[in-house]
Amino acid sequence: MTWIKKNKWMTALIMAFIIAAGVFLTFILNKESAVASINNETITKDELYETLVKQYGSDTVDQMINDKIVEAEAEKKDITVSTKTVTSEIDKLKEQYGGEDAFNQALVDSGTTLTALKSDIKNYLLIKKLLEPEIKITEDEMKTYFEENKDSFATAEQVKASHILVADEATAKKVKEKLDNGEDFAALAKEYSTDDSTKDSGGELGYFAKGDMVTEFEDAAFAMSVNQISDPVKTDYGYHIIKVEDKKAAQAANYEDSKAEIKETLFDQKVDSEYQTWLDGKKKNYDIENTLSSEA
């Protein structure tokens, strides 16, 4: 079962990988001449450097130059992004990816690090602040976007639930008996659940709509009342004991309620489309040379 959802920041992981490659280049220059050997034949740092420079060097330096310009322009305007703000964005990512374990795995799969991602997020937030005075969003644009994407602003019926996942029916019945005898759901989740992404938070899954979970699980959850605890529910993942904590009724799309989200979406779109023009204009004020740009 997966509750992982994608977020705009994960596109930053790809660029962060390129930047990390540049950091790696610097690191290897400080190592001994031979970085590896095969049957006593060495691979030198110079050979490794040349290979990595050909693959990543020019793009990495270009990105580093762009980042330096953003930092310099932000400093001119006394614009900053706090560590707390970056941490908040990281926390949102962790939540949307289904917890810290899933988030960390996404970092590994993307070949990057938390430090590189934080740097990328900080840079993007600086860009947003720098471009904000130049970006205008009209009411007509917002209304048009709402009408064209109305379905995305409607809210489906949702259930907030926790679960305890175990491997076999006998264990599931044992856990259910303990619950019937008044034992604490969260404590039993920590003790028995095999779902490592939720057990430490008492099995909490948050809110979910139909289609987010496997059929057997969501059929049971949506049929239950608030505060009700299910009998064991079998899925391909094992046996679940489900506790429904809250429900939200479906809501039709409402423009006034969606204005803030629409404005943020349109703003992000305009930042993405106007950033390169802004950057090209700022580059005229700097003496820039990328000695790797001509290497094949």
What pLDDT is stored for residue 18 in this prediction?
Answer: 46
Numbered ranges of CATH 3.10.50.40 in the chain: 155-248
Predicted pLDDT at 7: 46
What confidence score (pLDDT) does residue 106 get? 86
CA dist., res. 95 & res. 208, Å (int): 13
If you ran DSSP here, which 8-state letter would residue 80 be given? Answer: -
CA separation, residue 108 to residues 102, 111, 112, 183 (Å): 10, 5, 6, 38
Please enumerate in sequence order all residues whose Cβ is within 8 A of that of 61, keeping only pairs 6 or more positions apart, or say none: 22, 290, 292, 293
Closest CA to 85 of 127, 114, 125: 125
Apex 169 CA angle, 167 and 175, nearest 5: 85
* Global pTM value: 0.63
* pLDDT for position 126: 97
CATH of region 155-248: 3.10.50.40
Q: What is the mean pLDDT of each run of 10 residues along the chain (296 residues)?
A: 38 48 48 72 81 79 91 96 95 84 86 91 96 96 96 93 97 97 96 93 92 95 97 97 96 95 96 95 91 60
As given in the structure block, the two tokens for residue 160 are 């907030």
Residue 33 has φ and ψ, to the nearest 5°, of -60, -45
Nearest to 238 by CA among 214, 269, 268, 264: 214
Read off the tokens for 211.
Answer: 């289609």
Local structure of residue 132 (DSSP, 8 states):
G
Distance of alpha carbon 266 from alpha carbon 241, whole angstroms: 42
pLDDT in the model for residue 4:
29
pLDDT recorded at residue 237: 95
* Alpha-helical segments (H) within the chain: 11-29, 45-52, 58-76, 83-96, 100-110, 114-131, 139-148, 150-153, 169-180, 185-192, 215-223, 255-283
Q: What are phi and psi of 101, to 5 degrees?
A: -65, -45
Closest CA relative to residue 80, chosen from 88, 71, 89: 71
Selection from 65, 58, 137 nearest residue 296 by Cα: 58
pLDDT of residue 188: 97
pLDDT value of position 39: 84
Per-residue pLDDT at 208: 94
CA distance 194 to 212: 20
- The residue type of 175 is V
Cβ contact 107:10 at 8 Å: no
The pLDDT value recorded for residue 197 is 86
pLDDT score, position 294:
55
